[in-house]
A and B are shown apart, each in its own frame.
Chain A
Amino acid sequence: MSRRTGAPAPLAVPALVAVVFLALPLVGLLVRAPWATLPHLLGDPLVREALRLSVVSALLATAISLVFGVPLAWVLARTEFPGKALVRALVTVPLVLPPVVGGVALLLAFGRRGIVGRYLDQWFDYTIPFTTTAVVLAETFVAMPFLILTVEGALRAADRRFEEASASLGAGRLTTFRRITLPLVAPSVLAGAVLCWARALGEFGATITFAGNYPGTTQTMPLAVYLALESDPDAAIALSLVLLVVSILILVALRDRVVRSA
């Protein structure tokens, strides 16, 4: 599958430019990083708490996105209904919206005075903002489109003959989805989930606006990094490196698994 041949210059040169462009800021971080303080920072209970909160809430956001996003991707790719164009546009809204605005929008919907949130408050005496639930919701709102768009693209590109064969052999649409379609696009679902997780892990704007910032309940790593920037830029750089290392480790681990299974 992977025959090694040199890339032609018109492809190699822009590719190299892209790599250098993406790598340089990272090099900047690495050069300025206060390596000596890293172990100390990792031992800081506040940092560990923020890291744990980040990883767990991003995983939850990805799980929610999988449960609701994959079916939506299938609906968008395989069915026709009035207003479909509108639904597809809605899916891209969180991508276009500045995350801070997304956070305000979430407050207007699920906040204490929000369209839905006010009834949660009145009937159940429950408010979402400033809880870990709010962190997960904010991350899901921002990250789910990455999963939906990836899976939808894969479904559109997938060979429909397998599904048609399955249907002609008498399988219902649900069985076909479960036994044929899903295994067919599994690598894309995983790729989408990884994208979604990575986006959720780095989420800042919607989280700080909708969930607020409090150590232990809503202060994720990106928030801790931003706030550390206020008092100690070196600590901020160290913290971002920690986040970076953890995310790369998890991505590489997943990548290997995906490549092996595909």
Chain B
Amino acid sequence: MRRPALLTAAVAAAAVLLAGCGDSSSDTAGGSSSASASADDLKGTVTVFAAASLTESFTTLGRQFEQAHPGVTVKFNFAASSALAESIGQGAPADVFASASTKTMDGVDAAVDAKDFAQNTMEIAVPPDNPGKVAALADLAKPGLKIALCQEQVPCGATAKKVLDKAEITVTPKTLGADVKSVLTTVSLGEVDAGIVYRTDVRAAGDKVKGIEIPADRNASTAYPIATLKDAPNADGATAFVDYVLSADGTKVLEAAGFTAP
């Protein structure tokens, strides 16, 4: 008795899945302009690979995007941009790639028409009680101070180096974080006296760290490009999501997180 019921359910599910696939592929011919015009046609899952520093803002954007398009689910994969680029290169089925560096985006052959959607500047993060009494960038050169930086191969490390070079400061870090979040963790746990991270990370950390601003003339920034991907399983959804990130609504969320306009 149970088995036929289960079977029917399975067949029905398969039919729905197939219908979903059919829809998205037939819609592709419609092009990108139809995506924003008839928003309710959008269906399925949009898979977004995004840089770790976008975790908070893109989660919010994704939720808003789903509200605007009830048929769509946005699925995120947050990790270091370079790791994401590598998995896209190995054929991971992603629709959209948002990177924390132009260089990483340039290395992704499948990226279609990448556009900058935000910029991030650097800020000094210290533990809330500021044990090293850091007040300005120049203090980072003080001997005996424990500093954490991102390693130079990742965007936050490259940008932090630009800041230090511009200020002509030599810093001997205790540790080189593999990504910006690991630097933030060592700072918030009080293991180091200061670290250089993105402004958005200081915002996202709340009162777990204290931010010390770097004057604009000494600061450096990194651009965040976003692109749809060739062979995206959900091409229409991908285009619509990228359009949303670039829209006024998208910019508002990004600016609230501490990003600046490109």
Point out residues on A near B: beta carbons under 8 Å: 104, 107-108, 111-113, 127, 129-130, 208-209, 212-214, 218, 223, 226-231, 233
Taking CB atoms and an 8 Å cut-off, the chain B residues in 140-160 that contact chain A are 146, 148, 151, 153-154
With a cutoff of 8 Å between Cβ atoms, the chain A residues found around residue B110 in the complex are none
Q: Are B189 and A227 in contact (CB under 8 A)?
A: no
With a cutoff of 8 Å between Cβ atoms, the chain A residues found around residue B191 in the complex are 107, 111-113, 127, 129-130
With a cutoff of 8 Å between Cβ atoms, the chain A residues found around residue B185 in the complex are 104, 209
Q: Which residue of A lies closest to B176 (CB)?
A: A213
12 contacts between A and B (CB under 8 A): A129-B174, A129-B186, A208-B182, A209-B182, A212-B148, A212-B176, A213-B175, A214-B176, A227-B178, A229-B82, A230-B178, A233-B86
With a cutoff of 8 Å between Cβ atoms, the chain A residues found around residue B86 in the complex are 229, 233
Interface check B190, CB cutoff 8 A: yes
Interface check B80, CB cutoff 8 A: yes
- Assembled-state Cα–Cα distance A130/B192 (Å): 10
Q: Are B175 and A212 in contact (CB under 8 A)?
A: yes
Interface residue count for B (Cβ, 8 Å)?
A: 21
Q: How many A-B residue pairs have CB under 8 A?
A: 62
Interface check B93, CB cutoff 8 A: no
Report the minimum CB–CB distance from A53 to chain B (whole Å): 14
Interface check B83, CB cutoff 8 A: yes
Q: Are A230 and B175 in contact (CB under 8 A)?
A: no
Q: Are A130 and B146 in contact (CB under 8 A)?
A: yes
Point out residues on B near A: beta carbons under 8 Å: 80, 82-83, 86, 146, 148, 151, 153-154, 173-178, 182, 185-186, 189-191
Report the minimum CB–CB distance from B210 to chain A (whole Å): 15
Q: Are B189 and A208 in contact (CB under 8 A)?
A: no
Q: Are A230 and B151 in contact (CB under 8 A)?
A: yes
Query: Taking A111-B191, A112-B191 as contacts, is the C-beta distance between A227 and B151 under 8 angstroms?
Result: yes
Task: Give the top 5 A-B pairs by smallest Cβ distance, nearest first.
Answer: A212-B175, A231-B153, A230-B153, A113-B190, A130-B174
Report the minimum CB–CB distance from A230 to chain B (whole Å): 4
- Assembled-state Cα–Cα distance A129/B186 (Å): 10
Known: A104-B189, A208-B182, A218-B175. 6 other contacts (CB 8 A): A112-B191, A129-B175, A130-B174, A230-B83, A230-B151, A231-B82
With a cutoff of 8 Å between Cβ atoms, the chain A residues found around residue B182 in the complex are 208-209
With a cutoff of 8 Å between Cβ atoms, the chain B residues found around residue A226 in the complex are 178
Select which of A107, A113, A213 is within 8 A of B151 by beta carbon.
A213
Q: Which residue of B lies closest to A218 (CB)?
A: B175
Q: Are B80 and A230 in contact (CB under 8 A)?
A: yes
Q: Are B148 and A111 in contact (CB under 8 A)?
A: no
Select which of B146, B148, B153, B186 is within 8 A of A227 by beta carbon.
B153
With a cutoff of 8 Å between Cβ atoms, the chain B residues found around residue A228 in the complex are 153
Report the minimum CB–CB distance from B89 to chain A (whole Å): 8
With a cutoff of 8 Å between Cβ atoms, the chain B residues found around residue A214 in the complex are 173-176
Q: Which residue of A lies closest to B177 (CB)?
A: A213
- Which of A113, A208, A212, A226 has its CB near the most chain B CB atoms (within 10 A)? A212
Select which of B154, B178, B189 is within 8 A of A111 by beta carbon.
B189
- Assembled-state Cα–Cα distance A38/B176 (Å): 25
Q: Which residue of A lies closest to B90 (CB)?
A: A233
- Assembled-state Cα–Cα distance A223/B179 (Å): 12
With a cutoff of 8 Å between Cβ atoms, the chain A residues found around residue B177 in the complex are 212-213
Q: Are B176 and A230 in contact (CB under 8 A)?
A: no
Report the minimum CB–CB distance from A204 to chain B (whole Å): 10
With a cutoff of 8 Å between Cβ atoms, the chain B residues found around residue A212 in the complex are 148, 174-177, 186
Report the minimum CB–CB distance from A211 to chain B (whole Å): 8
Q: Which residue of A lies closest to B173 (CB)?
A: A214
Q: Which residue of B lies closest to A232 (CB)?
A: B153
- Assembled-state Cα–Cα distance A229/B186 (Å): 22
Report the minimum CB–CB distance from A118 to chain B (whole Å): 9
Q: Are A208 and B190 in contact (CB under 8 A)?
A: no
With a cutoff of 8 Å between Cβ atoms, the chain B residues found around residue A227 in the complex are 151, 153, 176, 178
Report the minimum CB–CB distance from B118 to chain A (whole Å): 21
With a cutoff of 8 Å between Cβ atoms, the chain A residues found around residue B186 in the complex are 129, 212
With a cutoff of 8 Å between Cβ atoms, the chain A residues found around residue B153 in the complex are 227-228, 230-231
- Assembled-state Cα–Cα distance A223/B148 (Å): 16
- Assembled-state Cα–Cα distance A228/B82 (Å): 10
Q: Which residue of A lies closest to B148 (CB)?
A: A212
Q: Are A230 and B189 in contact (CB under 8 A)?
A: no
Q: Are A229 and B148 in contact (CB under 8 A)?
A: no
Q: Are B190 and A111 in contact (CB under 8 A)?
A: yes
Q: Which residue of B lies closest to A129 (CB)?
A: B191
With a cutoff of 8 Å between Cβ atoms, the chain A residues found around residue B82 in the complex are 229-231
Report the minimum CB–CB distance from A107 to chain B (whole Å): 5
Q: Are B178 and A107 in contact (CB under 8 A)?
A: no
